[in-house]
Structure 1
Amino acid sequence: MLKKTTDNCIKSLILSALLFSSCSSSTFRIFHKPIVFDDEREKLSIEYLESRHGIKKDRATIQPRMVVLHWTAIPDIERTFHAFYSPTLPEARKSISSASTLNVSSQFLIDRDGTIFQLLPDTVFARHVIGLNHCAIGVENVGSAKDPLTRAQLKANENLVRYLKTKYNIDYLIGHYEYQKFIGHELWKESDSSYLTVKTDPGKGFMRKIRTRLKDLNLKGAP
Protein backbone atom coordinates (compact mmCIF):
# COMPACT_ATOMS: atom_id res chain seq x y z
CA MET A 1 0.00 0.00 0.00
CA LEU A 2 2.84 2.37 0.95
CA LYS A 3 4.67 1.61 -2.34
CA LYS A 4 1.52 2.31 -4.38
CA THR A 5 0.97 5.61 -2.52
CA THR A 6 4.62 6.60 -3.08
CA ASP A 7 4.41 5.73 -6.78
CA ASN A 8 1.28 7.84 -7.13
CA CYS A 9 2.99 10.75 -5.37
CA ILE A 10 6.00 10.51 -7.69
CA LYS A 11 3.72 10.43 -10.75
CA SER A 12 1.87 13.46 -9.40
CA LEU A 13 5.12 15.36 -8.86
CA ILE A 14 6.34 14.51 -12.37
CA LEU A 15 3.02 15.65 -13.88
CA SER A 16 3.15 18.89 -11.88
CA ALA A 17 6.72 19.52 -13.00
CA LEU A 18 5.76 19.01 -16.65
CA LEU A 19 2.79 21.33 -16.34
CA PHE A 20 4.89 23.99 -14.60
CA SER A 21 7.57 23.67 -17.26
CA SER A 22 4.98 24.11 -19.99
CA CYS A 23 3.34 27.09 -18.31
CA SER A 24 6.64 28.80 -17.48
CA SER A 25 8.12 28.49 -20.97
CA SER A 26 8.62 31.73 -22.89
CA THR A 27 5.54 33.20 -24.53
CA PHE A 28 5.49 35.36 -27.65
CA ARG A 29 4.57 38.89 -26.58
CA ILE A 30 4.86 42.34 -28.14
CA PHE A 31 5.10 45.34 -25.84
CA HIS A 32 3.97 48.74 -27.10
CA LYS A 33 6.56 51.50 -26.77
CA PRO A 34 5.38 54.12 -29.27
CA ILE A 35 7.59 56.78 -30.75
CA VAL A 36 6.10 60.14 -31.75
CA PHE A 37 3.86 59.88 -34.80
CA ASP A 38 2.24 63.30 -34.89
CA ASP A 39 1.10 65.53 -37.74
CA GLU A 40 4.68 66.56 -38.47
CA ARG A 41 5.95 63.00 -38.78
CA GLU A 42 3.03 61.98 -40.95
CA LYS A 43 3.52 65.02 -43.20
CA LEU A 44 7.23 64.23 -43.63
CA SER A 45 6.40 60.56 -44.25
CA ILE A 46 3.84 61.40 -46.94
CA GLU A 47 6.38 63.74 -48.56
CA TYR A 48 9.03 61.00 -48.43
CA LEU A 49 6.70 58.49 -50.07
CA GLU A 50 6.10 60.88 -52.95
CA SER A 51 9.56 62.43 -53.41
CA ARG A 52 11.68 59.31 -52.82
CA HIS A 53 9.36 56.45 -53.80
CA GLY A 54 7.09 58.18 -56.33
CA ILE A 55 3.98 57.13 -54.40
CA LYS A 56 1.29 59.70 -53.69
CA LYS A 57 -0.89 59.02 -50.66
CA ASP A 58 -3.12 60.89 -48.23
CA ARG A 59 -1.91 58.78 -45.31
CA ALA A 60 1.56 57.48 -44.46
CA THR A 61 0.84 53.79 -44.80
CA ILE A 62 2.53 50.80 -46.43
CA GLN A 63 1.47 47.49 -47.91
CA PRO A 64 3.92 45.00 -46.34
CA ARG A 65 5.65 42.66 -48.77
CA MET A 66 8.88 42.10 -46.89
CA VAL A 67 10.55 42.18 -43.49
CA VAL A 68 13.97 43.81 -43.20
CA LEU A 69 16.15 42.89 -40.22
CA HIS A 70 18.62 45.41 -38.80
CA TRP A 71 20.97 45.98 -35.90
CA THR A 72 20.97 49.34 -34.16
CA ALA A 73 24.74 49.99 -33.70
CA ILE A 74 23.54 51.62 -30.47
CA PRO A 75 24.33 49.55 -27.37
CA ASP A 76 21.09 49.80 -25.40
CA ILE A 77 17.35 49.96 -25.82
CA GLU A 78 16.69 53.37 -24.30
CA ARG A 79 19.29 55.22 -26.37
CA THR A 80 17.94 53.52 -29.49
CA PHE A 81 14.39 54.49 -28.58
CA HIS A 82 15.52 58.07 -27.97
CA ALA A 83 17.25 58.14 -31.38
CA PHE A 84 14.01 57.12 -33.15
CA TYR A 85 11.59 59.05 -30.94
CA SER A 86 11.58 62.49 -32.58
CA PRO A 87 9.86 63.12 -35.95
CA THR A 88 12.96 64.82 -37.39
CA LEU A 89 16.55 63.71 -37.82
CA PRO A 90 19.01 64.65 -35.08
CA GLU A 91 22.08 66.73 -35.93
CA ALA A 92 24.22 63.58 -35.89
CA ARG A 93 22.44 62.25 -39.03
CA LYS A 94 23.20 65.17 -41.36
CA SER A 95 24.70 62.77 -43.91
CA ILE A 96 21.21 61.51 -44.87
CA SER A 97 19.26 64.72 -44.30
CA SER A 98 19.60 65.74 -47.96
CA ALA A 99 17.03 63.06 -48.81
CA SER A 100 14.62 64.18 -46.10
CA THR A 101 14.56 65.56 -42.57
CA LEU A 102 12.25 62.69 -41.59
CA ASN A 103 13.82 60.73 -38.76
CA VAL A 104 14.75 57.09 -39.20
CA SER A 105 12.73 54.50 -37.31
CA SER A 106 11.26 51.02 -37.60
CA GLN A 107 8.03 49.33 -36.68
CA PHE A 108 9.71 46.96 -34.20
CA LEU A 109 12.70 47.01 -31.84
CA ILE A 110 14.11 43.91 -30.13
CA ASP A 111 16.26 44.11 -26.98
CA ARG A 112 19.24 41.88 -26.20
CA ASP A 113 17.08 39.58 -24.05
CA GLY A 114 14.60 39.05 -26.88
CA THR A 115 11.92 41.44 -25.63
CA ILE A 116 9.95 42.79 -28.60
CA PHE A 117 8.77 46.40 -28.60
CA GLN A 118 6.42 47.89 -31.18
CA LEU A 119 7.30 51.49 -32.01
CA LEU A 120 4.79 52.06 -34.81
CA PRO A 121 1.76 50.14 -36.11
CA ASP A 122 2.68 47.42 -38.65
CA THR A 123 1.40 49.32 -41.67
CA VAL A 124 2.55 52.83 -40.75
CA PHE A 125 5.45 54.13 -42.84
CA ALA A 126 8.93 54.06 -41.30
CA ARG A 127 12.21 55.24 -42.82
CA HIS A 128 14.65 52.37 -42.38
CA VAL A 129 15.72 50.99 -45.79
CA ILE A 130 16.47 52.95 -48.96
CA GLY A 131 14.22 52.15 -51.91
CA LEU A 132 11.97 49.71 -50.05
CA ASN A 133 10.34 51.58 -47.15
CA HIS A 134 7.02 51.61 -49.01
CA CYS A 135 6.65 47.82 -48.69
CA ALA A 136 8.94 46.85 -45.79
CA ILE A 137 8.36 46.24 -42.10
CA GLY A 138 11.56 47.06 -40.25
CA VAL A 139 12.86 45.12 -37.24
CA GLU A 140 15.73 46.75 -35.36
CA ASN A 141 17.79 44.63 -32.96
CA VAL A 142 19.98 46.14 -30.25
CA GLY A 143 23.51 45.13 -31.26
CA SER A 144 26.37 45.70 -33.68
CA ALA A 145 29.34 43.99 -35.30
CA LYS A 146 31.11 44.37 -31.96
CA ASP A 147 28.10 43.02 -30.05
CA PRO A 148 26.53 40.37 -32.34
CA LEU A 149 22.87 39.61 -31.93
CA THR A 150 21.96 37.07 -29.26
CA ARG A 151 20.27 33.70 -29.31
CA ALA A 152 17.28 35.29 -27.56
CA GLN A 153 17.05 37.85 -30.36
CA LEU A 154 17.24 35.08 -32.94
CA LYS A 155 14.23 33.36 -31.37
CA ALA A 156 12.35 36.65 -31.04
CA ASN A 157 12.94 37.50 -34.71
CA GLU A 158 11.72 34.05 -35.71
CA ASN A 159 8.53 34.43 -33.68
CA LEU A 160 7.91 37.95 -34.96
CA VAL A 161 8.37 37.04 -38.63
CA ARG A 162 6.06 34.05 -38.23
CA TYR A 163 3.46 36.31 -36.65
CA LEU A 164 3.74 38.94 -39.41
CA LYS A 165 3.51 36.27 -42.09
CA THR A 166 0.10 35.24 -40.71
CA LYS A 167 -1.16 38.84 -41.03
CA TYR A 168 0.30 40.03 -44.33
CA ASN A 169 1.35 38.82 -47.74
CA ILE A 170 5.04 38.74 -46.81
CA ASP A 171 7.15 37.39 -49.68
CA TYR A 172 10.66 38.47 -48.70
CA LEU A 173 12.91 38.36 -45.65
CA ILE A 174 16.22 40.20 -45.99
CA GLY A 175 19.03 41.63 -43.94
CA HIS A 176 19.63 45.37 -44.31
CA TYR A 177 22.97 44.68 -46.01
CA GLU A 178 21.11 43.02 -48.90
CA TYR A 179 18.85 45.91 -49.87
CA GLN A 180 20.89 47.10 -52.88
CA LYS A 181 20.27 43.75 -54.60
CA PHE A 182 16.72 44.99 -55.23
CA ILE A 183 17.90 47.76 -57.56
CA GLY A 184 16.02 47.15 -60.82
CA HIS A 185 13.44 44.93 -59.10
CA GLU A 186 9.73 45.81 -59.35
CA LEU A 187 9.70 46.69 -55.64
CA TRP A 188 12.64 49.09 -55.87
CA LYS A 189 11.48 52.70 -55.72
CA GLU A 190 14.14 55.38 -55.20
CA SER A 191 14.15 58.65 -57.13
CA ASP A 192 17.90 59.29 -56.74
CA SER A 193 20.07 56.45 -58.06
CA SER A 194 23.12 57.88 -56.27
CA TYR A 195 21.45 57.81 -52.86
CA LEU A 196 22.91 54.58 -51.48
CA THR A 197 24.65 53.60 -48.26
CA VAL A 198 26.75 50.54 -47.45
CA LYS A 199 25.29 48.37 -44.68
CA THR A 200 26.44 45.21 -42.90
CA ASP A 201 23.58 44.65 -40.45
CA PRO A 202 22.34 42.38 -39.00
CA GLY A 203 25.30 40.16 -40.01
CA LYS A 204 25.47 37.33 -42.54
CA GLY A 205 25.70 34.69 -39.82
CA PHE A 206 22.49 35.90 -38.19
CA MET A 207 20.66 35.83 -41.52
CA ARG A 208 21.83 32.25 -42.21
CA LYS A 209 20.47 31.18 -38.83
CA ILE A 210 17.12 32.94 -39.15
CA ARG A 211 16.56 31.57 -42.65
CA THR A 212 17.26 28.05 -41.44
CA ARG A 213 14.67 28.49 -38.67
CA LEU A 214 12.10 29.91 -41.09
CA LYS A 215 12.72 27.55 -43.98
CA ASP A 216 9.16 26.19 -43.78
CA LEU A 217 7.72 29.63 -44.65
CA ASN A 218 9.41 29.63 -48.08
CA LEU A 219 10.27 33.31 -47.84
CA LYS A 220 12.42 34.73 -50.61
CA GLY A 221 15.74 36.42 -50.01
CA ALA A 222 17.25 39.23 -52.07
CA PRO A 223 17.20 38.72 -55.87
Structure 2
Amino acid sequence: MALALVGGSAVLGGCGPRQSATSGVPSATPVTSARSAAAPATATAPASPRPSTTRPSARPASARATTTPARTSGAAARVPVVAAYIPFSAQRKAETASYAKRHYGVASWHLRPSMVVLHFTETTTMSSARNTFAQDVPNTGELPGVCAHYIVDQDGTVYAIVPVTILCRHTIGLNDKAIGIEMVQSTSGNSAHWADQQILARHAQISSVLRLVHQLQAQWGIPTSRVIGHAMANDDPAFRDLRGWHNDHSDWQAVDVMEVRRRLAAL
Protein backbone atom coordinates (compact mmCIF):
# COMPACT_ATOMS: atom_id res chain seq x y z
CA MET A 1 0.00 0.00 0.00
CA ALA A 2 1.26 3.52 -0.75
CA LEU A 3 1.68 6.20 1.84
CA ALA A 4 -0.92 8.95 2.11
CA LEU A 5 0.67 12.20 0.95
CA VAL A 6 -0.18 15.72 2.00
CA GLY A 7 2.58 17.19 0.03
CA GLY A 8 5.82 17.03 -2.60
CA SER A 9 27.16 19.30 8.57
CA ALA A 10 28.67 18.94 6.21
CA VAL A 11 29.00 16.18 8.56
CA LEU A 12 26.22 15.56 11.01
CA GLY A 13 26.89 13.87 14.28
CA GLY A 14 25.23 11.04 16.15
CA CYS A 15 22.80 9.91 13.51
CA GLY A 16 22.68 8.72 9.98
CA PRO A 17 23.79 11.86 8.19
CA ARG A 18 27.43 11.00 8.85
CA GLN A 19 28.91 7.65 7.99
CA SER A 20 32.43 6.74 8.93
CA ALA A 21 34.55 3.68 8.48
CA THR A 22 36.36 2.51 11.55
CA SER A 23 38.67 0.36 9.48
CA GLY A 24 39.92 0.20 5.92
CA VAL A 25 39.30 2.84 3.28
CA PRO A 26 39.32 6.44 4.70
CA SER A 27 15.73 3.88 0.53
CA ALA A 28 10.45 2.63 -0.77
CA THR A 29 7.49 3.10 0.42
CA PRO A 30 6.71 4.69 -2.84
CA VAL A 31 5.05 7.97 -1.91
CA THR A 32 2.04 8.75 -4.04
CA SER A 33 3.71 11.55 -5.93
CA ALA A 34 4.15 11.88 -9.66
CA ARG A 35 7.59 13.43 -9.15
CA SER A 36 10.52 11.34 -10.34
CA ALA A 37 13.45 10.69 -8.03
CA ALA A 38 15.84 12.36 -10.42
CA ALA A 39 14.02 15.69 -10.32
CA PRO A 40 14.37 18.12 -7.43
CA ALA A 41 11.31 18.22 -5.22
CA THR A 42 9.03 21.20 -5.26
CA ALA A 43 9.75 21.52 -1.59
CA THR A 44 13.29 22.71 -1.74
CA ALA A 45 12.91 25.12 1.12
CA PRO A 46 13.45 23.13 4.29
CA ALA A 47 11.85 23.53 7.62
CA SER A 48 13.41 24.18 10.93
CA PRO A 49 14.14 21.31 13.41
CA ARG A 50 15.46 19.80 16.50
CA PRO A 51 16.54 19.09 20.08
CA SER A 52 14.38 18.78 23.08
CA THR A 53 15.35 22.28 24.08
CA THR A 54 13.95 23.96 20.97
CA ARG A 55 10.45 24.47 19.70
CA PRO A 56 9.37 22.26 16.79
CA SER A 57 10.04 23.83 13.44
CA ALA A 58 7.48 24.92 10.90
CA ARG A 59 6.81 23.01 7.71
CA PRO A 60 8.90 24.24 4.75
CA ALA A 61 6.91 26.87 2.93
CA SER A 62 7.61 25.26 -0.42
CA ALA A 63 6.55 21.75 0.54
CA ARG A 64 3.73 20.53 -1.65
CA ALA A 65 0.45 19.83 0.06
CA THR A 66 -2.57 17.98 -1.20
CA THR A 67 -5.87 17.23 0.39
CA THR A 68 -5.35 13.49 0.45
CA PRO A 69 -7.07 12.35 3.65
CA ALA A 70 -5.36 10.15 6.18
CA ARG A 71 -6.71 6.63 6.20
CA THR A 72 -6.42 3.85 8.66
CA SER A 73 -4.23 0.78 8.50
CA GLY A 74 -5.47 -1.63 11.09
CA ALA A 75 -5.84 0.26 14.34
CA ALA A 76 -3.35 2.98 13.41
CA ALA A 77 -4.34 6.05 11.40
CA ARG A 78 -2.10 6.67 8.39
CA VAL A 79 0.40 9.46 8.82
CA PRO A 80 0.49 12.22 6.17
CA VAL A 81 3.82 12.58 4.36
CA VAL A 82 5.15 15.86 2.96
CA ALA A 83 7.15 15.56 -0.27
CA ALA A 84 10.49 17.31 0.28
CA TYR A 85 12.62 15.28 -2.10
CA ILE A 86 16.25 16.15 -2.65
CA PRO A 87 17.65 16.13 -6.19
CA PHE A 88 18.73 12.60 -7.13
CA SER A 89 20.24 12.96 -10.58
CA ALA A 90 21.41 10.29 -12.98
CA GLN A 91 24.95 11.09 -11.83
CA ARG A 92 24.06 10.49 -8.18
CA LYS A 93 22.34 7.24 -9.11
CA ALA A 94 25.51 6.14 -10.94
CA GLU A 95 27.59 7.08 -7.89
CA THR A 96 25.21 5.07 -5.72
CA ALA A 97 25.48 2.02 -7.97
CA SER A 98 29.28 2.23 -7.86
CA TYR A 99 29.18 2.52 -4.06
CA ALA A 100 26.89 -0.51 -3.87
CA LYS A 101 29.27 -2.51 -6.07
CA ARG A 102 32.26 -1.67 -3.85
CA HIS A 103 30.51 -2.38 -0.57
CA TYR A 104 27.81 -4.96 -1.38
CA GLY A 105 28.95 -6.56 -4.63
CA VAL A 106 25.95 -5.48 -6.73
CA ALA A 107 26.11 -2.41 -8.96
CA SER A 108 22.59 -1.08 -8.46
CA TRP A 109 21.01 2.04 -6.97
CA HIS A 110 17.68 0.25 -6.60
CA LEU A 111 16.44 -0.77 -3.15
CA ARG A 112 13.92 -3.38 -2.10
CA PRO A 113 13.82 -2.77 1.66
CA SER A 114 13.61 -5.55 4.19
CA MET A 115 14.34 -3.57 7.36
CA VAL A 116 14.18 -0.09 8.93
CA VAL A 117 17.04 1.72 10.69
CA LEU A 118 16.21 4.51 13.15
CA HIS A 119 18.44 7.57 13.48
CA PHE A 120 18.40 11.02 15.03
CA THR A 121 19.86 13.94 13.12
CA GLU A 122 22.15 15.52 15.72
CA THR A 123 20.88 18.84 14.36
CA THR A 124 18.34 21.31 15.67
CA THR A 125 16.47 21.76 12.41
CA MET A 126 14.97 19.59 9.74
CA SER A 127 16.31 21.93 7.06
CA SER A 128 19.95 21.52 8.07
CA ALA A 129 19.69 17.75 7.82
CA ARG A 130 17.88 17.90 4.48
CA ASN A 131 20.40 20.38 3.08
CA THR A 132 23.26 18.06 4.01
CA PHE A 133 21.56 15.19 2.21
CA ALA A 134 20.98 17.34 -0.87
CA GLN A 135 24.62 18.37 -1.28
CA ASP A 136 26.01 15.06 -2.57
CA VAL A 137 29.53 15.63 -1.30
CA PRO A 138 32.01 12.83 -0.50
CA ASN A 139 31.62 11.14 2.87
CA THR A 140 34.45 9.01 4.25
CA GLY A 141 36.23 9.72 0.98
CA GLU A 142 33.50 8.34 -1.26
CA LEU A 143 30.51 9.46 -3.27
CA PRO A 144 27.55 9.59 -3.20
CA GLY A 145 26.79 11.82 -0.26
CA VAL A 146 24.81 10.56 2.69
CA CYS A 147 21.02 10.63 2.79
CA ALA A 148 17.99 9.09 4.45
CA HIS A 149 14.54 8.32 3.16
CA TYR A 150 12.51 10.25 5.75
CA ILE A 151 12.99 13.01 8.31
CA VAL A 152 10.44 13.31 11.12
CA ASP A 153 10.39 16.76 12.70
CA GLN A 154 9.65 17.46 16.34
CA ASP A 155 6.14 18.66 15.58
CA GLY A 156 5.38 15.27 14.02
CA THR A 157 5.63 16.34 10.38
CA VAL A 158 6.99 13.52 8.22
CA TYR A 159 9.08 14.55 5.22
CA ALA A 160 9.85 12.18 2.35
CA ILE A 161 13.44 12.96 1.30
CA VAL A 162 14.30 10.08 -1.05
CA PRO A 163 11.93 7.42 -2.45
CA VAL A 164 12.39 4.18 -0.55
CA THR A 165 13.10 2.32 -3.79
CA ILE A 166 16.44 4.20 -4.01
CA LEU A 167 19.45 3.12 -1.95
CA CYS A 168 20.65 5.77 0.51
CA ARG A 169 23.90 5.94 2.48
CA HIS A 170 22.71 6.08 6.09
CA THR A 171 23.98 2.88 7.73
CA ILE A 172 27.22 1.16 6.74
CA GLY A 173 26.71 -2.52 6.03
CA LEU A 174 22.92 -2.28 5.69
CA ASN A 175 22.31 0.41 3.07
CA ASP A 176 21.44 -2.20 0.46
CA LYS A 177 18.44 -3.42 2.45
CA ALA A 178 17.33 -0.68 4.88
CA ILE A 179 15.00 2.29 4.91
CA GLY A 180 16.56 5.14 6.91
CA ILE A 181 14.34 7.28 9.15
CA GLU A 182 15.87 10.38 10.76
CA MET A 183 14.31 12.14 13.74
CA VAL A 184 15.18 15.74 14.49
CA GLN A 185 17.04 15.64 17.79
CA SER A 186 20.41 16.70 19.15
CA THR A 187 22.33 15.19 22.03
CA SER A 188 23.16 18.74 23.24
CA GLY A 189 26.16 17.39 25.11
CA ASN A 190 24.24 14.46 26.59
CA SER A 191 24.26 10.76 25.74
CA ALA A 192 22.58 9.09 22.78
CA HIS A 193 20.28 7.30 25.22
CA TRP A 194 19.24 10.70 26.58
CA ALA A 195 18.47 11.90 23.05
CA ASP A 196 16.49 8.74 22.28
CA GLN A 197 14.46 9.34 25.43
CA GLN A 198 13.65 12.93 24.39
CA ILE A 199 12.11 11.58 21.19
CA LEU A 200 10.23 8.82 23.00
CA ALA A 201 8.75 11.43 25.34
CA ARG A 202 7.77 13.82 22.53
CA HIS A 203 4.27 12.62 21.67
CA ALA A 204 3.81 14.30 18.29
CA GLN A 205 7.15 13.14 16.94
CA ILE A 206 7.20 9.55 18.19
CA SER A 207 3.55 9.02 17.22
CA SER A 208 4.37 9.97 13.63
CA VAL A 209 7.45 7.75 13.66
CA LEU A 210 5.43 4.78 14.86
CA ARG A 211 2.69 5.30 12.28
CA LEU A 212 5.25 5.73 9.49
CA VAL A 213 7.12 2.56 10.47
CA HIS A 214 3.82 0.70 10.78
CA GLN A 215 2.88 1.72 7.23
CA LEU A 216 6.28 0.72 5.86
CA GLN A 217 6.03 -2.63 7.60
CA ALA A 218 2.65 -3.27 6.01
CA GLN A 219 3.84 -2.30 2.55
CA TRP A 220 7.15 -4.16 2.53
CA GLY A 221 6.41 -7.05 4.89
CA ILE A 222 8.98 -5.90 7.44
CA PRO A 223 8.69 -7.63 10.82
CA THR A 224 9.10 -5.59 13.99
CA SER A 225 12.29 -7.50 14.77
CA ARG A 226 13.81 -5.87 11.68
CA VAL A 227 13.32 -2.35 13.04
CA ILE A 228 16.69 -1.50 14.57
CA GLY A 229 18.74 1.50 15.70
CA HIS A 230 21.91 2.76 14.05
CA ALA A 231 23.84 1.79 17.17
CA MET A 232 22.76 -1.84 16.62
CA ALA A 233 23.89 -2.07 12.98
CA ASN A 234 27.34 -3.61 13.39
CA ASP A 235 25.90 -6.55 15.33
CA ASP A 236 22.97 -7.15 13.01
CA PRO A 237 23.04 -10.60 11.34
CA ALA A 238 22.50 -8.98 7.93
CA PHE A 239 25.47 -6.60 8.31
CA ARG A 240 27.94 -6.88 5.45
CA ASP A 241 30.54 -4.50 4.05
CA LEU A 242 33.07 -5.77 1.52
CA ARG A 243 35.50 -2.96 2.41
CA GLY A 244 35.51 -3.86 6.10
CA TRP A 245 33.85 -0.62 7.16
CA HIS A 246 31.88 -0.34 10.41
CA ASN A 247 29.54 2.22 11.96
CA ASP A 248 30.70 4.40 14.85
CA HIS A 249 27.32 5.94 15.72
CA SER A 250 25.49 5.60 19.01
CA ASP A 251 22.04 6.90 18.03
CA TRP A 252 19.10 4.69 18.94
CA GLN A 253 20.42 2.34 21.56
CA ALA A 254 19.03 -1.20 21.76
CA VAL A 255 17.13 -0.52 25.00
CA ASP A 256 15.33 2.40 23.37
CA VAL A 257 14.57 0.45 20.20
CA MET A 258 12.95 -2.21 22.37
CA GLU A 259 10.52 0.47 23.56
CA VAL A 260 9.81 1.46 19.96
CA ARG A 261 9.06 -2.17 19.14
CA ARG A 262 6.79 -2.47 22.16
CA ARG A 263 4.79 0.55 21.03
CA LEU A 264 4.64 -0.74 17.45
CA ALA A 265 3.15 -3.98 18.71
CA ALA A 266 0.44 -1.99 20.50
CA LEU A 267 -0.76 -0.19 17.35
TM range (shorter): 0.7 to 0.9
Aligned residues: 179
Whether 1:151 and 2:203 are equivalent positions in the alignment is: yes
Q: Does the CA-based 8 Å contact 2:114-2:221 persist in structure 1? A: yes
Q: Does the CA-based 8 Å contact 2:171-2:247 persist in structure 1? A: no
> What is the TM-score of this pair, normalised by structure 1?
0.74
Change (3 A) 1:80 1:138: same
Q: Does the CA-based 8 Å contact 1:49-1:134 persist in structure 2? A: yes
Determine the structure 2 residue equivalent to 1:178: 232
Change (3 A) 1:203 1:151: farther
Q: Does the CA-based 8 Å contact 1:106-1:139 persist in structure 2? A: yes
Whether 1:212 and 2:212 are equivalent positions in the alignment is: no
Q: Secondary structure at the match of 1:133?
A: coil
Determine the structure 1 residue equivalent to 2:145: 103
Looking at structure 2, the residues matched to 127 and 201 of structure 1 have their Cα atoms a distance apart, in angstroms, of 16
Instruction: Specify which of 208, 216, 219 is matched with residue 167 of structure 1.
Output: 219
Q: Does the CA-based 8 Å contact 2:117-2:180 persist in structure 1? A: yes
Instruction: Specify which of 115, 138, 157 is matched with residue 66 of structure 1.
Output: 115
Q: Does the CA-based 8 Å contact 1:65-1:136 persist in structure 2? A: yes
> What is the TM-score of this pair, normalised by structure 2?
0.63
Moved over 4 A (4+): none
Q: Percent identity?
A: 26
> Quick check: which one's helix share is greater?
1
Whether 1:196 and 2:246 are equivalent positions in the alignment is: yes
Pairwise CA distance, 1:156: 1.0
Report Cα offsets for 1:63-88 as digits up to 9, x if no partner. Answer: 11100000011110111111111222
Looking at structure 1, the residues matched to 120 and 127 of structure 2 have their Cα atoms a distance apart, in angstroms, of 14
Instruction: Specify which of 114, 129, 133 is matched with residue 80 of structure 1.
Output: 129
Report Cα offsets for 1:82-135 as digits up to 9, x if no partner. Answer: 11112223xxx5xx12xx221110111110111100011111110000111011
Looking at structure 2, the residues matched to 56 and 87 of structure 1 have their Cα atoms a distance apart, in angstroms, of 19
Q: Which runs of 5+ in 1 are unaligned?
A: 1-25, 218-223
Larger relative contact order (CA 8 Å, sep ≥ 6): 2
Which residues of 2 match residues 129-140 of structure 1 at below 5 A?
129-140=171-182
Looking at structure 2, the residues matched to 133 and 115 of structure 1 have their Cα atoms a distance apart, in angstroms, of 24
Q: Secondary structure at the match of 2:247?
A: coil
Q: Which runs of 5+ in 2 are unaligned?
A: 1-76, 189-194
Pairwise CA distance, 1:158: 0.6
Determine the structure 2 residue equivalent to 1:17: none
